[in-house]
Amino acid sequence: MVVMVLITTVVGFYVASSGVTDYVRLVHTLLGMGLAAGGTLALNQYIERDVDARMERTRLRPLPDGRLQPTEALVFGVAITGAGLLYLALFVNVLSAFVTAISVGSYLFLYTPLKRKTALCSLVGAVPGALPPVIGWGAARGELGLGAWVLFAILFLWQTPHSLAIARLYRDDYARAGIQLLPVVEPDGGSTGRQVVSHCLALLAVGLLPTLIGLAGSVYFLGAFTLGIAFLGCGIGLAVSRSEAAARRLLFASLLYLPVQLGLMALDKVPF
């Protein structure tokens, strides 16, 4: 997850950079983001240690397995998260630190507790997940323009098919832990399929915006359209069959879609 955060941050930084990319500032941004993201995940595991102990896929994490004590994880998580935010403020800019703080806070104090209360948690969790390219943009330019919010929208819409595919694959595990994801709340799969298809459709349209607003060229446009159609096809496949095999295909497609699309955007960036 930290690797994905850093990759999307790099894309936001690079696309926002005018002229020669400031690689020193980019390295500072990645160091601060790496610390903040790693610390946030550590704190999340501290908060959810009882939940993790109930799930097969997470019961061997250091806290539920007893290899770490809760106090150790809490101190470590707070320390490196705080260090990351301070590093960004001192060596990049206050804007990047501020948006990162919003991402950390919304992930830990909104998304994490909502996972045991409502299926809407996925939409809430998509917000901090979509902020890394915005942080990269703000780090490069010191302000947030239209392009930053287009990148946010792409990441936001991508996350619902991605996360629901995972939730479908581990539905029984999540149910055992009391996590209220859509495939758990409505196991027939109808609502999950509708959410996946609607977000894939929206992503197909929004994914074309970088060319329309002058961030990327025609090569990106054609690539984004092709990727969007393929991703939508996988989403429809899950909506129709509601099977684990279809969920696995959608998850694999989501893991290909995002890095390829962002890579195309970076390669076909329009200079400004």
**Do 127 and 8 share a domain, yes or no?**
yes
Per residue in 3-28, pLDDT tens? 999 999 999 999 999 888 899 999 99
Q: Where residue 202 falls among pLDDT bands split at 50, 70, 90?
A: very high
Sign of CA dihedral 51, 55, 61, 67: positive
Per residue in 230-253, pLDDT tens? 999 999 999 999 999 999 999 999
3-state helix, strand, coil in the chain (%, to 5): 80, 0, 20
Planar angle of CA 92, 97, 98, nearest 5 degrees: 140
Number of domains in the chain: 2
- Range(s) of the domain holding residue 271: 146-272
**Do 89 and 178 share a domain, yes or no?**
no
Report the CATH number at residue 30. Answer: 1.10.357.140
**Do 134 and 154 share a domain, yes or no?**
no
Q: Where residue 272 falls among pLDDT bands split at 50, 70, 90?
A: low
Distance of alpha carbon 154 from alpha carbon 224, whole angstroms: 11
Residue where one domain finishes, among candidates 128, 144, 160? 144
Distance of alpha carbon 91 from alpha carbon 64, whole angstroms: 36
Residue type, 70: P
**Two tokens, residue 89:** 């403020």
**Do 10 and 137 share a domain, yes or no?**
yes
Residue where one domain finishes, among candidates 76, 111, 144? 144
pLDDT score of 39: 97
Q: What is the mean pLDDT of the chain?
A: 95
For 170-179, b/e burial (b = at least 16 CB within 10 A) is bbebbbebeb
Per residue in 33-55, pLDDT tens? 999 999 999 999 999 999 999 99
Report the CATH number at residue 238. Answer: 1.20.120
**Do 124 and 155 share a domain, yes or no?**
no
pLDDT score of 57: 86
**Do 152 and 134 share a domain, yes or no?**
no
Residue where one domain finishes, among candidates 95, 116, 144? 144
